[in-house]
């Protein structure tokens, strides 16, 4: 039951929770605790003594007279002390807030004025001791996540790493191993042994410059940087002005692999041209 349903169910009625002393303001409070806040009632000598009770289930706020920035929220219970101005006696009074701002509030009351049934009353903060708010239970924890998928890292040199929890961890491990062991194929396998990822880090990029077709493009020299290959090709071209010279970038096949090396033309010199075409 929520607050609106509670007000609708009890408006215009006299409610006696404990069957003692007739319909008192505390009786309405007890019904509210049981039916809306779903918590056990606690018994006190009078409404004034409700303030501060059950701190494990109710968060209490002391009223600071004149502080308009502090006021209860809809659904809070509000407690009066003894106050001659508003007519509360030594037992005080309790109501259930339905609207509030820093200056006035409305509450669902019983026995205000004396012997009145349950109804909504407009109030100032005269005589207010404070108010309480139900400490709602913390939200339930989400169900635990399923265990991460397990992967293995296998290299062609026979090394096996794992099992490793999660694809990213396996991928990182495979990349690290491949970087430390060049020209070695490293694969990531799932739990069923299926290949899901692989990596090979070559030792280096090899550059070769070769002469014209009459020499069957035979390699003249090799270099590990394009700048070195260009420099050597230019020197060779100046010494052999009738030769065509091509510089290729060669990516070797991994060790133990039957695939051929791949290559790409990156620089060329025609007869009499020093240089002719730069890197593409």
pLDDT in tens, 72-117: 999 999 999 999 999 999 999 999 999 999 999 999 999 999 999 9
Q: In percent, how much of the chain has pLDDT > 90?
A: 46
Instruction: State residue 280's pLDDT score.
Output: 39
Query: Does position 269 have pLDDT exceeding 80, yes or no?
Result: no
H/E stretch holding 265 reads strand 262-269
If you average pLDDT over residues 146-166, what whole number do you get? 85
If you average pLDDT over residues 201-212, what whole number do you get? 59
What tens digit of pLDDT does each residue of 135-150 get? 986 667 777 878 878 8
Mean pLDDT of the chain: 82
* Cβ neighbours around 208 below 10 Å, total: 19
H/E stretch holding 160 reads strand 160-165
If you average pLDDT over residues 212-241, what whole number do you get? 64
If you average pLDDT over residues 251-273, what whole number do you get? 59
Question: Which residues, 6+ apart, have CB-to-CB distance to 270 below 8 Å?
Answer: 244, 276
Query: Does position 266 have pLDDT exceeding 60, yes or no?
Result: yes
Residue 278: pLDDT band (50, 70, 90) is very low
Categorise residue 209: left if φ over 0, alpha if ψ from -120 to 50, beta otherwise. Answer: beta
CATH for 3-134, options being 3.40.50.720, 3.90.1720.10, 2.40.30.10, 3.40.640.10:
3.90.1720.10
Residue 27: pLDDT band (50, 70, 90) is very high
Angle between helix 3-10 and 25-35 (nearest 10): 140
Instruction: State residue 86's pLDDT score.
Output: 92
Are 120 and 153 within 8 A, CB to CB? no
What tens digit of pLDDT does each residue of 39-77 get? 999 989 899 999 999 999 999 999 998 899 999 999 999
Query: Does position 156 have pLDDT exceeding 80, yes or no?
Result: yes
Residue among 89, 91, 88 at smallest CA distance from 121: 88
202 vs 252: which has the higher pLDDT: 202
């Amino acid at each position: 039951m929520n607050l609106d349903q509670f007000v609708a169910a009890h408006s215009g009625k006299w409610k006696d929770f404990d069957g003692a002393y007739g319909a008192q303001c505390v009786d309405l409070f007890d019904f509210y605790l049981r039916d809306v806040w779903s918590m056990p009632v606690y018994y006190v000598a009078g409404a004034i003594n409700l303030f501060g009770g059950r701190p494990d289930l109710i968060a209490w706020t002391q009223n600071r007279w004149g502080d308009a920035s502090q006021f209860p929220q809809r659904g809070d219970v509000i407690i009066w002390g003894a106050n001659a101005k508003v007519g509360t006696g030594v037992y005080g009074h309790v109501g259930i807030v339905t609207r509030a701002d820093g200056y006035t509030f409305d509450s669902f009351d019983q026995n205000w004025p004396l012997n009145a049934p349950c109804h909504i009353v407009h109030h100032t903060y005269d005589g207010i001791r404070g108010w309480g708010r139900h400490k709602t239970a913390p939200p339930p924890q989400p169900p635990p996540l399923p265990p991460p998928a397990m992967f293995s890292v296998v290299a062609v040199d026979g090394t096996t790493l794992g099992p490793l929890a999660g694809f990213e961890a396996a991928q990182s491990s495979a990349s690290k191993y491949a970087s430390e062991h060049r020209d070695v194929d490293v694969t990531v396998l799932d739990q069923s042994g299926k290949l899901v990822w692989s990596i090979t880090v070559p030792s280096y990029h090899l550059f070769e410059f070769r002469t014209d077709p009459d020499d069957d493009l035979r390699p003249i020299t090799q270099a590990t940087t394009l700048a070195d290959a260009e420099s050597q090709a230019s020197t060779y071209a100046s010494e052999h002005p009738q030769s065509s010279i091509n510089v290729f970038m060669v990516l070797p096949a991994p060790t133990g692999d039957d695939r051929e090396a791949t290559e790409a033309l990156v620089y060329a010199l025609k007869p009499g041209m020093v240089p002719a075409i730069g890197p593409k």
